[in-house]
Structure 1
């Protein structure tokens, strides 16, 4: 009897120790400190030009931290229609951290939009409550409510659902979010009708999406609704979308303990490197956002973006990109280059210790699949599946 009791105590103790170890390991893996901008502050204050014949799309951002793909995917996709003015709007005219490896400048502040009396035809709300550690900013919630006319479209992306639930606009209406955060948000905000297993919800002119990767389906759905099927087909072809029509079927598979264990094993027992992504003029925002977001989930020692002279540059559709890394301070073990044709030998010499990975400019498949296939080759299928779960991609 004593022996049996001793065995039970040993088993329980082991379970507690393993559980605590896993808990603290997961905290180390996922709760990295958000970066702060420390570069020059002398930014061009000129406001962008607007074509009054086009629809206005405003993508709301939080200066302190906004989900990378949630913002850059719709920014690219709505621009790719050729029929929209697409602007990034934040509370302050200061750099926005796209978590956790790139800074961008907003086109407008909330106050500037108000003073110009601009009302969005489409309002996009990405995840601005990173790791759900802080509640939505009251000022942002109130500004969104003021922007909403009852006739314009709102697209909530991923955990942007937290911000939209806080507005009360979705009370009694269907909404979804990232599979891994679904139960938490449902408990915090009981007003909306929370639904699973769908990539995009629609309740009148209020839309929402599943996690991260589903920003694409949400944007495409609104593009079809607003600009028609011809424009949709153009954008589908542009990004090499892997389905003939918008994929609305979705499995809300949250990150499991088994997949977390796979991530913890990689984090603590496998070699982790410093990854650099080279920012180049006219870079495709969709490709860049995909790369930075996907590879951040491979748990590198660090992942930062760089320019050769540490200065800002412009993306394809005119975003001001600010690097998160500095060549004189940061070690780079792997350098990823999205436009090999513009990558010179002189530029390569700035990264003397880095292995260089060149990605073809002309692609024959959906870019998320390209990156995930590479992760499968590097780290195996189990770890690739972990990354897919964090992206809520299936």
Structure 2
């Protein structure tokens, strides 16, 4: 009987791993380990973000059910880096938005608060959210349509193209999305002009980007059109963008069946690493999203966030991260990633004594740092597959 139970447990474990792998194959744009809806305590003492009437305003739309992390945080960071814009993450209600299983971000304004303050959008950013087909949230779609004015610029990021297409604002206009999801998303919307092999498309004031990693390229293009070349160069420098001009050329290479088998083999048969991530007040939102979204696609056994301060973490540009996990260290943890090594304290160093600390620098483009290390750990072939899941070509 004991042998039978052991066999059943092993079989169940294998089936769960295969199911997880299958999910990864069908939804490559999702960040591994990104949690479902928040069920914790209501955040008290919420303060409305500052508004400067002399600046143009950017709305980054978010969905409390699920919003692709890099799609949301990369544009948020790039537009803030210009120091010339009001930039807000806005959502239909005050449900915190999942980032990881143990970490959430609080929206800055609800749709109702936007209306109450009579705010008008100069730019609307549409990340990939929970609905990737024709079953879009009508509240989100209507909000976008109602705030698209005669001078508003709108940009869809990755599979946010599905929500963008649902608004009708892209009818007869160029649009693209993640290369691996292109045919799946395209089949629901026939009126836009579906395009590939471009990191960013533009039709007058309507933009779209290819998958996840192209959010930076698209945001920089909008910045240049909205504020001028100097503002774009400033933002590009702030993110260590690896190109002199906004990169337009792109290879829309989808994951092949062979690539998917490689992911499946890695998830089922390879040793899966246990990772940690240390958070500090003032953390760089782009670096954070790059680390979590890129390393998440190596399918680690564990990717846990730590904060040795309060459970509420304030980011560089004023976001509120809510840490709902504990700080218990798995003694078999392989490494802990440090978003802001310049903020490391003696307490931090002592807490993680004996564990490898991966200190991310402030000079290289964040995704490139991650890909380089993944290639060293898992080989060039798997690093290439990670790039495909990010549509980073």
Task: Verify same fold: TM over 0.5.
Answer: yes
Q: CA deviation at 1:150?
A: 3.2
State the alpha-carbon separation in 2 of the partners of residues 21 and 75 from structure 1: 35
Q: Deviations 1:273-307 (Å, cap 9, x if unpaired)? A: 33221111111111111111111111011223221
**1:10 matched residue in structure 2:** none
State the alpha-carbon separation in 2 of the partners of residues 371 and 101 from structure 1: 21
**2:22 matched residue in structure 1:** 27
Within 5 A, what are the aligned runs for 1:151-190?
151-190=151-190
Deviates more, 1:351-360 or 1:332-341: 351-360
**1:368 matched residue in structure 2:** 367
Q: Does 1:296 align with 2:291?
A: no
**2:59 matched residue in structure 1:** 58
Superposed structure 1 runs of 4+ greater than 6 Å apart: 20-23
State TM-score, norm by structure 2. 0.88
Q: Deviations 1:34-68 (Å, cap 9, x if unpaired)? A: 33434442333221111111110010000111111
8 Å Cα contact 1:87/1:107 also seen in 2 = yes
State the alpha-carbon separation in 2 of the partners of residues 241 and 167 from structure 1: 31
State TM-score, norm by structure 1. 0.88
Q: CA deviation at 1:368?
A: 1.1
Within 5 A, what are the aligned runs for 1:1-394?
24=19, 26-27=21-22, 29=24, 34-98=35-99, 102-129=103-130, 132=132, 135-309=135-309, 311-323=311-323, 325-328=325-328, 332-351=333-352, 354-360=355-361, 362-363=362-363, 365-394=364-393
State the alpha-carbon separation in 2 of the partners of residues 107 and 202 from structure 1: 28
Q: CA deviation at 1:309?
A: 4.2
Q: CA deviation at 1:116?
A: 1.3
Deviates more, 1:323-332 or 1:304-313: 323-332
State the alpha-carbon separation in 1 of the partners of residues 120 and 317 from structure 2: 21
8 Å Cα contact 2:165/2:192 also seen in 1 = yes
DSSP-derived class of the 1:252 partner: coil
DSSP-derived class of the 2:298 partner: coil
State the alpha-carbon separation in 2 of the partners of residues 146 and 169 from structure 1: 11
8 Å Cα contact 1:129/1:160 also seen in 2 = no
Q: CA deviation at 1:349?
A: 4.3
Deviates more, 1:94-103 or 1:346-355: 346-355
DSSP-derived class of the 1:58 partner: strand
State the alpha-carbon separation in 2 of the partners of residues 235 and 40 from structure 1: 36
DSSP-derived class of the 2:158 partner: coil
Q: Deviations 1:303-340 (Å, cap 9, x if unpaired)? A: 23221145111111111112253214877542111222
State the alpha-carbon separation in 2 of the partners of residues 39 and 22 from structure 1: 28
State the alpha-carbon separation in 2 of the partners of residues 163 and 315 from structure 1: 28
Deviates more, 1:298-307 or 1:77-86: 298-307
DSSP-derived class of the 1:255 partner: coil
**1:17 matched residue in structure 2:** none
Q: CA deviation at 1:236?
A: 1.7
Q: CA deviation at 1:129?
A: 2.7
State the alpha-carbon separation in 1 of the partners of residues 246 and 103 from structure 2: 29
Q: Deviations 1:194-249 (Å, cap 9, x if unpaired)? A: 11111111111111000001101100000000110111111222222111111101
Q: CA deviation at 1:29?
A: 4.2
DSSP-derived class of the 1:159 partner: helix
DSSP-derived class of the 1:308 partner: coil
Report the CA distance shift for 1:319/1:134 in structure 2 as closer, same or farther (over 3 A): farther
**1:3 matched residue in structure 2:** none
State the alpha-carbon separation in 2 of the partners of residues 366 and 221 from structure 1: 17
Q: RMSD over aligned Cα, in angstroms?
A: 2.3
Q: Based on CA coordinates, which of the two structures has the bigger radius of gyration? A: 1
